[in-house]
Amino acid sequence: MTILAPTTHETRLLAQGLTLPTVAPTPIGAFRNLRRSGRRVYVSGQGPVTADGTFLRGKVGADVTTAEAREHARLVALNILSVLREEFGTLDAVGGLIKLVGLVNAVPDYEEHPQIIDGASEIMHQVFGEAGIHARTSYGVGSLPNRITVEIDAIFELAPGV
Amino acid sequence: MTILAPTTHETRLLAQGLTLPTVAPTPIGAFRNLRRSGRRVYVSGQGPVTADGTFLRGKVGADVTTAEAREHARLVALNILSVLREEFGTLDAVGGLIKLVGLVNAVPDYEEHPQIIDGASEIMHQVFGEAGIHARTSYGVGSLPNRITVEIDAIFELAPGV
Amino acid sequence: MTILAPTTHETRLLAQGLTLPTVAPTPIGAFRNLRRSGRRVYVSGQGPVTADGTFLRGKVGADVTTAEAREHARLVALNILSVLREEFGTLDAVGGLIKLVGLVNAVPDYEEHPQIIDGASEIMHQVFGEAGIHARTSYGVGSLPNRITVEIDAIFELAPGV
């Protein structure tokens, strides 16, 4: 007889072949990556920074395509998850995702922001399943720190007992 | 003797002659219009989309005037209310409005954002009365999905017992 | 024997030589400076308005330098604190800062937003100490009301018993 372990966020992450950075990005200023308040966790705006510290830069609609920026949004989502795992030791400390705010560093006539931020939303659904269903606001900003292409912040609920 | 029913959000809506879309706007991406977390409800960024699915588009300060965009903000407010009614069956499920974030798709030297977002705030006061008193942040974005003129998101509290 | 009073937010403010406006800025629209919801307080987007009502205006990266805008962000932080003191009578009603969102009215290729918003974050650390550790999202907007240089909103927790 095979006993199946319950599906957890960490097992779903593995099953999807997703890998998180072992160290969360360093905050670029006088703030923390994460602030807990009661049952909620506010994650600071994260960017597309690679494991070696490289910022993915450019203006979407000019230097960077929608498809490229969508990949950047996936990287940002993984960085957000790495912040949670670094703080709590495991993604299974997360009860659910409440909201994402997705910012795209785009030219003034850009229109496809949702397609980019979907890259992050889809990662959240893959990892958290039903608990990944979230509210979202996406828009184009005038500029971003270090001229990165995408910045995303998030609000999560904690799992019971955490 | 006349027995007056207590004034509710739905009766105030009627009294103001305001009509909500019967169906809430379809989210344009991998997210939901609304996410409840405890006693709070986060409504995703909503735009000026009409009942027939037309997006009201343009750059405020160039193609669109402040007065026109203010009307768009009123429409966004009604769409936000339609999201709440679709979820809870009645606006009377709402305990109060906590916060609006109002985004205007404006030219770089635009200055009159508060006059536009007041269109939405005033609807909230008309419908929720004292419970509609809210915090707000308004600003001009570089671009918006589908080139819409205004996008607004919101946080509400639920009424006791909901 | 000297009895030391416990260090409070108000005593830290004094010790740092910081002075708050005696009257909080007037909201420029149909909203309030602050909305309480349960144990949390949402402060509306505040700008660099001086005690005599002057708005500090300009586009960062063109008319205004990073160093100047950083001073403006410090002023915004003091205005945020004045909103809290006006509502609760004392900053000691604050349990802690949860999150800042810092908006910079910058040219499209601007990159140094965190250095500007650090001006506000550092004030919060000076006044609230450990309780001032917060999450943060900073970015460049396309335009701001009254063409101000910086706008910041905030979420705080209240102290026990408030």
C47-58: per-residue pLDDT in tens? Answer: 999 999 999 999
**At CB < 8 Å, which residues of chain B contact C?**
39-40, 96, 98-100, 104-115, 117-118, 121-122, 125, 133-143, 155, 157
CA distance C139 to chain A (A): 5
Cα–Cα dist C138/C120, whole Å: 11
Q: Which domains does chain B have, with CATH numbers?
A: 34-158 (3.30.1330.40)
Shortest CA distance from C60: residue in chain B: B108
Strand partners, A96: A157
Which pLDDT belongs to residue A45? Answer: 98
Question: Distances from the Cα of B46 to the Cαs of A136, B121, B150, B151, C25, in angstroms?
Answer: 10, 14, 8, 5, 29
Which pLDDT belongs to residue C7? Answer: 83
Cα–Cα dist B112/B119, whole Å: 12
* Candidates A98, A109, A118; nearest CB to B143: A109
pLDDT for residue A122 is more than 70 = yes
pLDDT for residue C4 is more than 80 = no
**At CB < 8 Å, which residues of chain B contact A?**
27-35, 37-38, 42-45, 59, 101, 103, 108, 141-147, 151, 153
Edge-to-edge strands, sheet with C34-37: C34-37, C40-46, C150-158, C94-105, C135-141
The answer to whether B21 and B84 have CB atoms below 8 angstroms apart is no
Q: Do B135 and C34 touch (CB under 8 A)?
A: yes
Cα–Cα dist C41/C159, whole Å: 11
For residue B126, what are its two tokens?
A: 């008309």
Q: Do B108 and C45 touch (CB under 8 A)?
A: no
Q: How many residues does chain C have?
A: 162
Ranges of chain B with pLDDT below 50:
none
Mean pLDDT over residues A36-60, rounded? Answer: 97
Helix/strand/coil for B4: coil
Indicate the residue type of C108: P
The answer to whether C13 and C128 have CB atoms below 8 angstroms apart is no
Which pLDDT belongs to residue C56? Answer: 98
Which pLDDT belongs to residue A116? Answer: 98
For chains A and C, what is the number of CB pairs under 8 angstroms?
Answer: 93
Using one digit for the tens of pLDDT, what is the confidence trace for A85-118? Answer: 999 999 999 999 999 999 999 999 999 999 999 9
Helix/strand/coil for A59: coil
Cα–Cα dist B58/B14, whole Å: 31
For residue A30, what are its two tokens?
A: 């006088």
Secondary structure E strands in A71-145 = 94-105, 135-141
Which pLDDT belongs to residue A7? Answer: 83
Which pLDDT belongs to residue B159? Answer: 97
H or E segment and range at residue C114: helix C113-128
Chains meeting B at 3+ CB pairs closer than 8 A?
Answer: A, C
Q: Please give the angle made by the CA atoms of A139, A142 and A148, to the nearest 5 degrees.
A: 85
Cα–Cα dist C103/C27, whole Å: 17
Write the DSSP symbol of residue A109. T
Token pair 């009254």: residue: C146
Which pLDDT belongs to residue B14? Answer: 96
Write the DSSP symbol of residue B92. G
CA distance A145 to chain C (A): 4
Shortest CA distance from C101: residue in chain B: B137
Cα–Cα dist C105/C117, whole Å: 12
Mean pLDDT over residues C115-138, rounded? Answer: 98
Helix/strand/coil for B45: strand
Closest CA to B113 of B83, B148, B77, B138: B138
Work out the pLDDT band at A2, boundaries 50, 70, 90.
low
* Candidates C96, C110, C137; nearest CB to A44: C137
Question: Distances from the Cα of A111 to the Cαs of A46, A138, A148, B145, C9, in angstroms?
Answer: 22, 11, 18, 4, 45
Work out the pLDDT band at C2, boundaries 50, 70, 90.
low
Q: Do B135 and C143 touch (CB under 8 A)?
A: no
- Alpha helices in B47-131, H assignment, sequence order: 66-88, 113-128
